[in-house]
Copies of this chain bind each other. A is one copy, B any other.
């Protein structure tokens, strides 16, 4: 069927669940056709919005096309695109920002009502009628299971060599029918290579031949490299103290972006070999680490590679197949497995406060940047939780260490290590008063240290300081000053 004809199957008010995680595996043809249909239907005087569910971020084009026409009433669970962000922050699009490990469970439970249509990109269909996944799995298993109607996009661009790299576990259930998930090591395969679908629900099959948006890798800058160096030093320190296994550490989870890439690059030059990664996204850097033997095995839910990365993978697929697996995101982020494997969680942040609370999502406490994604899944149940950021932003006008964060995504109970290019604060086993000094001394930029020390000193000197000393009238003054003057710094 043509994409235009398939788009006619989506009606105003529908809840539409699509494939896509870190852009990879987003449907290529259906959404542009749907955007045209929405525009056309509105020309007849009928409003037309959908509720849009995804794995995580989908391709920029997809998010933008639908957001530019205000085509999405409710968006869940993650986005990272400018137009969508603008619509959310102006109140024109509802956004539910939840832990990625909770999505499948909550949709099954019915929090988002019925899923009318699933649009899922696949690489092909087997003779048995099962579906060969493309470059991400995300929530596709769930979408195919719960949707009333299914539209498949068969993308012939996806290299046939990828077949078999996937492991789809089908034994999840709603309570009281859950049982132990039998995964004990990052490399364990516990499922099947294909997705299942009830063919009676498949209302359209659309053929495409389009590559995923390339995920370009920027070279780490000096600040990212400094952060990475602190992280690597810390790993060596933990190994020396007997708190991490020598050589292979424990499975690493790392977000995407400059700092994460710098850490991965740093690992390649470091003393650790045979590492494992249990994370969400595999980028080009991971292929290098695998090729060099630094990483023995990587588990993820999305392959977000550059053109060169795709070539590298396909040209050496027999090698990489022994070292990579893609799983559904309910497995890649599952609390049971994150706890059992003992994940080292490394995620970026917008800011941390002096007591160790972290804001990952809301600029100045109000404007959403992207979303919490999987950072809470790994932080909350992992073995070691680390948050990383440059110590300043906006050319030094913003300090990423503040007295009180105006939005908390990760609480003081969960944040163990904070890293900036200035240094690393190890908060484990410390009371709030001890934490504040370590965070300021190790992580704050010198331009803001005196301001922070002045704040905490006066808070502690108040008549009833409390366990977590604050001056409520000043706790958010750094942020208010930035809004008023363009800088958090006292002039």
- A residues with a Cβ closer than 8 A to B are 74, 76, 88-91, 94-99, 105-106, 109-112, 174-176, 178-182, 184-185, 241-243, 245, 250, 334-336, 339-342, 357, 362-368, 372, 376, 380-381, 383, 404, 406-414, 428-434, 459-460, 464-470, 472-473, 475-476, 479-480, 483
A99 CA / B415 CA spacing, docked (Å): 12
Residue of B nearest to A469 (CB): B366
A475 CA / B98 CA spacing, docked (Å): 23
A253 CA / B181 CA spacing, docked (Å): 23
Give min CB distance, A269 to chain B, whole Å: 24
Residue of B nearest to A381 (CB): B335
- In the assembled complex, which residues on chain B have CB atoms less than 8 Å from the CB atom of A335? 335-336, 339, 380-381
Q: A110-B241, A466-B367, A468-B362 are in contact. Are A341 and B431 (CB under 8 A)?
A: no
B475 touches A429 (CB 8 A): no
A483 touches B479 (CB 8 A): no
A429 touches B106 (CB 8 A): yes
Q: A428-B106, A467-B89, A468-B362 are in contact. Are A184 and B179 (CB under 8 A)?
A: yes
Give min CB distance, A258 to chain B, whole Å: 24
B381 touches A381 (CB 8 A): yes
Residue of B nearest to A339 (CB): B335
A46 CA / B169 CA spacing, docked (Å): 62
A470 touches B365 (CB 8 A): yes
A25 CA / B291 CA spacing, docked (Å): 55
Give min CB distance, A264 to chain B, whole Å: 21
A380 CA / B472 CA spacing, docked (Å): 28
Copies in the complex: 2
A95 touches B467 (CB 8 A): yes
A181 CA / B337 CA spacing, docked (Å): 11
Instruction: Name A467's contact: one of B179, B367, B428 (CB within 8 Å).
Output: B367
A336 touches B340 (CB 8 A): yes
Instruction: Name A431's contact: one of B95, B250, B404 (CB within 8 Å).
Output: B95
Instruction: Name A243's contact: one of B96, B109, B243 (CB within 8 Å).
Output: B109
Instruction: Name A176's contact: one of B342, B381, B430 (CB within 8 Å).
Output: B342
A430 CA / B334 CA spacing, docked (Å): 23
B176 touches A180 (CB 8 A): no
A340 touches B464 (CB 8 A): no
Residue of B nearest to A406 (CB): B472
19 further interface pairs, Cβ-Cβ under 8 Å (given A99-B414, A362-B466) = A76-B429, A95-B432, A97-B412, A97-B413, A106-B428, A175-B342, A176-B245, A176-B342, A180-B336, A180-B340, A335-B336, A335-B380, A364-B466, A364-B472, A365-B466, A366-B466, A368-B468, A372-B413, A472-B476
A466 touches B176 (CB 8 A): no
Give min CB distance, A29 to chain B, whole Å: 29
Instruction: Name A175's contact: one of B96, B341, B407 (CB within 8 Å).
Output: B341
- In the assembled complex, which residues on chain B have CB atoms less than 8 Å from the CB atom of A98? 413
A406 touches B470 (CB 8 A): yes
B340 touches A178 (CB 8 A): yes
- In the assembled complex, which residues on chain B have CB atoms less than 8 Å from the CB atom of A182? 180
Residue of B nearest to A340 (CB): B178
A383 CA / B466 CA spacing, docked (Å): 34
Residue of B nearest to A479 (CB): B472
Instruction: Name A472's contact: one of B90, B414, B432, B480 (CB within 8 Å).
Output: B480
Residue of B nearest to A357 (CB): B408
- In the assembled complex, which residues on chain B have CB atoms less than 8 Å from the CB atom of A174? 342
